[in-house]
Amino acid sequence: MKYAIFSDIHANLEALNAVLSKCERLRVDKYISLGDIVGYNANPQECVDRIRSLDLAGAVKGNHDEYASNNSQEMEGFNPHARDAILWTKSQLNEESRQWLASLPLRSTIPQTGITIVHSTLDSPEAWGYIFDIHHAADNFSYQFTPLCFCGHSHVPIAFMKKPVTSASEKPIDEIMHWSHKRNESLVPDVVDVEDSIMIDIKSGYKYLVNVGSVGQPRNRDPRASFVVYDSVVNTLTRYRIPYDIELAQSKIREAKLPERLATRLLLGN
Ligand code: ZN
């Protein structure tokens, strides 16, 4: 079975369509959404419709989904751009989409798959914390009872593995360094136009905590849409980077009169 796992689409329909056509070419069987389908970009309703039309194995709620679908004006930790985008998003979503987003759980274990999903962190998902280092990963692993856990929220791909048994001298948790390579480098333009992928072989008895990156607003200076495929037959995780029509996504942001910064950051990948 092939599962496509993605997060932080953020209403970027061009990026989502590019990812989904790649999934078709890869013959993905089922889809898993890690939240923040809406917010920031210009097609929230269309992205919710597209996600709901997929064969979903699981879906969890992100903070932007939460704020766009509840009746409160409170948006903890949001800067003015994110806040403006949420207020605009609320005006774009129909009642059915709002109810669907509001109904999503904060974390979920998908039966028969060995997969747990969360937008932020397993230890306290409602606090919308981030996993940036091995200490955050350690907190998360103590609440992870399946071999695989997928998360999003930071828009920066990062992955950790926890070994089954350790001697006193051995570190139990390692960052899988090549998963997040390039995160501090700018990519040259011709590299940005090609697809690229990174693979991990899943070892039995190990636990993996994997941030899949962002489809619709990548922030590791690589503007290409990021997502992951888990192949449960050959036991691999592959993270793809897919080019998409950034200019079209930008023009829609400007047409909707959303903050200009939301358009410029797409090309910079930050
Ligand atoms: Zn997000």
89-98: long-range contacts (C-beta < 8 A, 24 or more apart)? 89/11, 89/38, 89/39, 89/44, 89/64, 92/44, 92/45, 93/38, 93/44, 93/45, 93/48, 93/68, 93/69, 94/45, 97/44, 97/45, 97/48, 97/49, 97/69, 98/68, 98/69
Q: Distances from the Cα of 133 to the Cαs of 139, 150, 154, 159, 217, in angstroms?
A: 10, 15, 12, 9, 21
CA 36 / ligand 1 centre spacing (Å): 5
Given a cut of 80, whether residue 75 has pLDDT beyond it is: no
Distance 144 CA to ligand 1 centre (A): 22
* Residue 155 CB partners (closer than 8 Å, separation 6+): 8, 213, 214, 217, 218, 219, 220
Averaged pLDDT for residues 90-110? 97
pLDDT greater than 60 at residue 184 = no
The fraction of the chain above a pLDDT of 90, given in percent, is 80
d(CA 104, ligand 1 centre) in Å: 16
Cα 154 to ligand 1 centre (Å) = 7
Model confidence pLDDT, tens digit, residues 123-156: 999 999 999 999 999 999 999 999 999 999 999 9
CA of 127 to the centre of ligand 1 (A): 14
Among 78, 60, 70, 65, which residue's Cα sits nearest to residue 125? 60
Q: What is the pTM of this model?
A: 0.95
pLDDT value for 187: 64
Ion ligand 1 — residues with CB < 5 Å = 8, 36
Between the CA of 174 and the centroid of ligand 1 the distance, in Å, is: 25
Q: What confidence tens digit (pLDDT) does each residue in 212-262 have?
A: 999 999 998 889 999 999 999 999 999 999 999 999 999 999 999 999 999
Q: How far does residue 145's CA lie from ligand 1's centre (Å)?
A: 25
Measured in Å, residue 270 CA sits from the centre of ligand 1 at 12
CA of 204 to the centre of ligand 1 (A): 31
What is the 169 CA–ligand 1 centroid distance (Å)?
Answer: 37
- Measured in Å, residue 81 CA sits from the centre of ligand 1 at 13
Interval between CA 170 and ligand 1 midpoint (Å) = 34
For the chain, domain boundaries: 2-268
**Are 75 and 82 in contact, with CB atoms under 8 Å apart?**
yes
Q: How far is the CA of 171 from the centre of ligand 1 (A)?
A: 31
Q: What is the band of 35 on the pLDDT scale with cuts at 50, 70, 90?
A: very high
pLDDT digits (tens, 9 = 90+) for 127-136: 999 999 999 9
233: CA distance to ligand 1 center in Å? 30
Question: Looking at domain 2-268, what is its CATH homologous superfamily?
Answer: Metallo-dependent phosphatases (3.60.21.10)
User: How many angstroms separate the alpha carbon of residue 7 from the centre of ligand 1?
Assistant: 8
- The Å distance, Cα 269 to ligand 1 centre, comes to 13
